[in-house]
Structures are given as C-alpha cells and as structure tokens.
Amino acid sequence: MAQAAKRPLSTGQKLAAIAGLTVLVSAYTALDRWSETHAFLINATDSLPNWAFFVESGRFPERGDYVIFDPGEDPLTVKFFGEEPAPFAKIAYGVPGDVIERDGDRVLVNGTPVVRTKPFTRLGDPLALGPTGVVPDRCIFAGTEHKDGFDSRYSAIGFVCSDRLVGTGTPIL
C-alpha cells in the first residue's frame, strides 16, 4: 500500500496556525481573568422580583445597587439557610455615613422609610431588630421591600461590611 506523501505546511498555513493558537490562548486568558471578578447568581427566594443576577466583585456598592453578600453564621441564619448558606441578594438602602432609625415597625434611612420589621419569622421564631445609627465605613444597610425579607433590618444580618460583600449585582432575569 502506498503512503501519500506528506506536504510540509506553507509559511501562510504556519502563520495561520500560530495566529489561531494566539487567539485561543488570549481568549482563555481573558475569560479566566474575567471569571475572577464576575459570577452568575440564582436568587432562590421571592424577596426580590429578579431571580438571576450577573455579579461583579471589586466595587463597593452605591445606594440603590443590588448587593450580593455572605449572610453570616447567626443561629437563625443557619436554622433557615443551612451551615453554608448561598449568598443573599438585596438592595443597598444605606451606605457609609447614612443614618438608620426606627419609627415603630418602620426602618428609615436618612429619614426616609425603606422597610418594615416584624416580631417573628413565618415559623414563629423571634426576630431581634437590627442596628440603628450611622452606617459604618465600608458597610451597607441591605434590604428589600418584601414583608418577609431577612436582611439588615434584623440583627441576624445587621450591617453588611466589606468582609461579607461578594459584589454588586445586575439583574438579568
């Protein structure tokens, strides 16, 4: 059986192969770098109208931004969300320097009502009220308008500081 003679690659074919490999390596490197500061989050609760978020880390939230954060390890958080709860998605209602106050069951940020509190969870567990006063540097007051929102209005979450922030979110669905 005769073997077909192998033809060496032309200079043009070699350059095309090198260019193709360069594009693939560059794309992989760019995607790898991008993935270090970006993620996708599915919000499994009904506390926000959106259920899917594009998450970007490395930027401190501004008032009104969607924020993604680690809810912490308070016993109430563990009871309802497990030992390793998924990140929470909320809205940054208060930023450093803002003043958090309560008026009855209403929580106010700089005098504007943003959320309401309730004394018990849906299952009857007592809810301790969250912090008031000036939002500390590198912290936010995170919440949602949902009546059953579990957020900074309660001490189990409290102010969300930069060590718990995952990033800011852009709703996509």
- pLDDT in the model for residue 29: 74
Q: Both ends of the chain: CA-CA distance in Å? A: 61
Higher pLDDT, 10 or 29: 10
Torsional class of 158: left (φ above 0), alpha (ψ -120 to 50), beta (otherwise)? left
Q: How many Cβ atoms from other residues are within 10 Å of residue 109's Cβ?
A: 21
Q: How confident is the model at residue 172 (pLDDT cuts 50, 70, 90)?
A: very high
Distance CA 8, CA 73 (A): 64
Length of the chain: 173
Lowest mean pLDDT among 29-43, 98-112, 157-171: 29-43
Domains of the chain: 38-171 (2.10.109.10)
pLDDT score for 34: 63
For 61-94, write each residue's pLDDT tens digit.
999 999 999 999 999 999 999 999 999 999 999 9
Looking at the DSSP bridge assignments, the partners of residue 106 are 103, 116
159 contacts 140 by C-beta, under 8 angstroms? yes
Instruction: Count CB atoms within 10 A of the CB of residue 135.
Output: 24
**What pLDDT, on a 0 to 100 scale, did the predictor assign at position 31?**
62
The phi, psi pair for 146, rounded to 5°, reads -60, 135
